[in-house]
Amino acid sequence: MLEYDKLLSAKGKHTRLQVDEIDEATPLIGENFEGYRSCGNGQVEPEESAAETTDSPQSGLVGMIVVLLVGVFVSQADGSLVLAAYSKVSSEFGDFENGSWLFSAYVLAMCVTQPLYGKLSDIYGRKTCLQISYMLFALGTACTGLGQSMRQVIAARAVQGAGGAGMVCMVSILLTDLVPLNEVALYRSYVNIAQTVGRSCGGAVGGYIVETLGWRWAFLCQCPVTFIAIGLVAWKLPVSSKSGGTTEAAESKLKRIDWVGAVTLSLTILSALIIVDMGGQKYPFSHPIIISAMVTFAVAGVIFLVTEDRYAKEPIFPLHLLSRYVVVTSYAVLFLQNFAQTALMMIIPIYFQVTKKASTAVAGTYLIPAVFGNTIGGLLTGFFIKRRVSKRPYTLLFTKRS
């Protein structure tokens, strides 16, 4: 019988896990994990007492979570806000062909930088990386509102995306540090609610600002909120004592980061976007730009796969994950979910603007009903996971309903 021993406490106690007894109803988090939390480097450590971690009571934890959710709300609201503003931006610069890059540049920067935040936060600390992400977002937002050409605005949106990636993913990392493992799913449901509320409200609020003050102020108005969030993080969030679990020098840790994987991944995604966005529309597929994008996509993709499989010490995306059925199906569901949500966010406002002659602000309000469905679903999911009930039936049910 195949068995694994895991060290669960500093007292030397062991819990033996029998692999052949595991089925889909087995709780992912055992009963002995009540007092444990993630230490951010693949290990599990006992949760320190309140006196060792922070002097604040439970309300202090709630306050920190609320502060973190402010950043999540702002970053997600920006995603739907730009949908209300991009037609005005394109019209002012007379460049409707590249209007979609206002959204694509943001997403591209998020895809490239998001995996790096985890490694960098192990080196420089959670709080520092979160504050840097806020600053990048504020800088990108200000430059977007002040941009004098479409290229400047698109570049600023990429900076925004680099900051927005940290504002979201650092919250997930911090939750595993601040919250016991058996409650992470419940708090994650609050993050999902903040994301949904931000996406739904961003279109309506952004549309109103675009109509009354102009598209530039739709971006510039985000700067004060972001600076307030920076101040709240500096005030409420304690400096993490974690250093990745080792006393290794920062320079040595930086060398372990998969920079080649990050660069080749960005080139692969960028070239794919160029092919999809421009191929057959702005340029024929025989055009040198499209051919160059195809070559770049193939070469960068191969280098990325080889690097992740053979050379990267700590790959940005471990390819062995794709051999796990649970991981692949989870990725597939998330891909389809985000694909559908993004498409609806773009299509629904335009549909009502064209067919019902609705204003930009009114068209954005049609996204608000999504808040209620996502809120109820998120809370139920967190409750089920915390109660350790069988997850497969509910996963199948919610996936089919979506």
pLDDT tens digits, one per residue of 326-345: 888 888 888 887 787 777 77
Residue 310: exposure state from Cβ atoms within 10 A (0-12, 13-18, ≥19): exposed
> Is the per-residue pLDDT at 275 higher than 60?
yes
Strand partners, 6: 15
Spatial separation of the C-alpha atoms in residues 75 and 166, rounded to whole Å: 10
Rounded to whole angstroms, the Cα distance separating 214 from 166 reads: 28
Give residue 383's pLDDT.
Answer: 67
Q: Which two tokens stand for residue 145?
A: 């509102």
**Chain-centre distance of CA 101, in angstroms?**
19
Between CA 221 and CA 112 the distance in angstroms is: 26
Secondary structure of 164-226 as H, E, C letters: HHHHHHHHHHHHHHHCCHHHHHHHHHHHHHHHHHHHHHHHHHHHHHHHHCCHHHHHHCHHHHH
pLDDT band for position 394 (cuts 50, 70, 90): low
| Fold observed for domain 50-258+313-401 | Growth Hormone; Chain: A; (1.20.1250)
Pairing between β-strand 44-46 and β-strand 36-38 as defined by DSSP bridges? antiparallel
Which residue, among 395, 384, 375, has the nearest Cα to 199 in the 3D structure?
375
How far apart, in whole angstroms, are the C-alpha atoms of residue 197 and residue 218?
17
Indicate if the pLDDT at residue 197 is higher than 90. no
Domain boundaries, the chain: 3-46, 50-258+313-401
Please calculate the CA angle 182-187-192 and round it to the nearest 5 degrees. 135
pLDDT tens digits along 280-331? 777 888 888 899 999 999 999 999 999 988 888 888 888 888 888 888 888 8
**Quick check: 77 pLDDT over 90?**
no
**Residue 5, beta-bridge partner list:** 16
Rg of the chain, C-alpha, whole Å: 23
Q: 357 or 161: whose pLDDT is higher?
A: 161
pTM: 0.71
The 8-class DSSP code of residue 17 comes to: E
Question: From CA 73, how far away is CA 197, in angstroms rounded?
Answer: 7
**312's torsion region: left (phi>0), alpha (psi -120 to 50) or beta?**
beta
Q: How far apart are CA 22 and CA 390, in angstroms?
A: 12
From 265, 266, 233, 238, select the one nearest 133 (Cα to Cα). Answer: 233
Q: Which of left, alpha, beta for 42 (phi over 0: left; psi -120 to 50: alpha)?
A: left
- Could you report the per-residue pLDDT of 24-75, keeping only the tens digit for each? 444 444 444 444 444 444 444 444 433 344 444 456 777 788 888 888 888 8
Percent of the chain with pLDDT over 70: 74
Provide the β-strand partners of residue 303.
Answer: none
Which residues partner with 76 through β-bridges? none
Biggest alpha carbon–alpha carbon distance for the chain: 70
Q: In whole angstroms, what is the distance from residue 63 CA to residue 172 CA?
A: 16
